[in-house]
């Protein structure tokens, strides 16, 4: 059984993992970040909450 911290950590993906999951390029990720794509910094590494990212992208489809 996973702990809550392990489950929470699994929700965040790297830039490369996000690119792979969404089939988008690094430049597209960077452009979306400038437009408000949810992310956090862990030290000098950017991490993306995958569930929030998907929700954010779906919200943008309707606008």
Task: Return the bridge partners of 12, or none.
Answer: 49
What pTM did the predictor assign?
0.78
Residue 4 lies in a domain: no
pLDDT, one tens digit per residue, over 3-48 is 555 445 558 999 999 999 999 999 999 999 999 999 999 999 999 9
15 contacts: CB under 8 Å, gap ≥ 6: 26, 29, 46, 48
Instruction: State the total domains in the chain.
Output: 1
Residue 45 lies in a domain: yes
Domain that holds residue 38: 11-61
Interatomic CA distance for residues 28 and 19, integer angstroms: 9
């Amino acid at each position: 059984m996973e702990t809550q911290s392990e489950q929470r950590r699994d929700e965040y993906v790297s830039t490369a993992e996000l690119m792979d999951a969404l089939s988008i390029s690094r430049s597209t990720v960077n452009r979306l970040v400038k437009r408000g794509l949810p992310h956090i910094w862990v030290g000098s590494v950017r991490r993306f909450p995958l569930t929030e990212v998907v929700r954010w992208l779906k919200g943008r489809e309707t606008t």
